[in-house]
Amino acid sequence: MSRLNVNPTRMELKKLKARLQTAVRGHKLLKDKSDEMIRRFSLLIKENKRLRDSVEDELSQVLKQFSVARSVTPAYVAETAFSMPSVSVELLCGTQSIMGVEVPKVDLSAKRISDGLPYAYSEITGEADYSVARAAELLPKMVELAQTEKAVRLLAAEIERNKRRVNALEYVMIPQLEETIKYIKDKLDENERAAIVRLMKVK
């Protein structure tokens, strides 16, 4: 391990000792942070998996149902019929902090513009009604999934960064400081011994 390029003086020794103390303390704090982030992350990722499984399942059902409904309707009719939503979806987007990582927090509110479905029943089959209604129900869940998944990704990136910092402190900075401190101490002791010997010789 390489030592730092400093002069072996008492001043430097004092400075380095202070730096070492800070580094050790920082290392401990970062390690604790990393542990807690990993704990949160594993909770979050389990939640994410559960949500994704259920959303994927329901979504594929909705889409299947919808494509059946669509197949019995002429394309241009469907195109116009479904382009007029009966609900308007609004999001309230904020952020929350998980261990200092800003993650999105989304609240969804759906406003009904008109009652019932946005198209004439004579044009579209009943299948479509169900699928549109279910899609509307599914939407909040999907938004929740989106939010969780983003949080997982952001947290994963942060954990990785944090791990690098911990490693840099543990395997580079702290050993380097320790070695330099030892070197300065040795050098100072050596100087002292040399001074004593010189004095004894003079006498």
Partner 1 sequence: MAVKGKTAFVGDGESILVFRAAGADAFPAEDESSAKEILRKIAKEYQVIFLTEELALSLGSFLKRFDEQPYPVVLAVPSKNGSTGFGEQALKSAMERALGVDILFNN
- Name the residues that contact partner 1, by CB under 8 A: 38, 41-42, 45-46, 48-49, 52, 55-56, 59-60, 62-64, 66-67, 70, 78-79, 81-95, 102-107, 110, 117-119, 131-132, 135-136, 139, 142-143, 145-147, 149-150, 152-157, 159-160
Query: Which lies closer to partner 1 via its Cβ, residue 147 or residue 176?
Result: 147
Q: Phi and psi at residue 141, in whole multiples of 5°?
A: -65, -40
CB 34 within 8 A of CB 163: yes
Least Å distance, CB 73 to partner 1, is: 11
Q: Which is nearer to partner 1, 12 or 86 (CB)?
A: 86
CB of 86 to partner 1, least distance (A): 8
The residue among 3 and 52 lying less far from partner 1, judged by its C-beta, is 52
CB of 108 to partner 1, least distance (A): 8
Nearest to 67 by CA among 131, 137, 134, 135: 131
Q: Which residue, 137 or 189, has its beta carbon nearer to partner 1?
A: 137
Alpha carbon distances (Å) from 156 to 25, 166, 168:
24, 15, 19
Closest CA to 65 of 126, 136, 137: 126
Give the C-alpha separation, 92 to 69, whole Å.
Answer: 32
Give least dist CB 26 to partner 1, A.
Answer: 21
In angstroms, rounded to a whole number, what is the distance separating the alpha carbons of residues 144 and 106? 7
Query: Which residues fall within 8 angstroms of residue 72, CB to CB, at 6 or more apart?
Result: 125, 127
Task: CB nearer to partner 1: give 7 or 97.
Answer: 97
Q: How far is the CB of 35 from partner 1 (least distance, A)?
A: 12
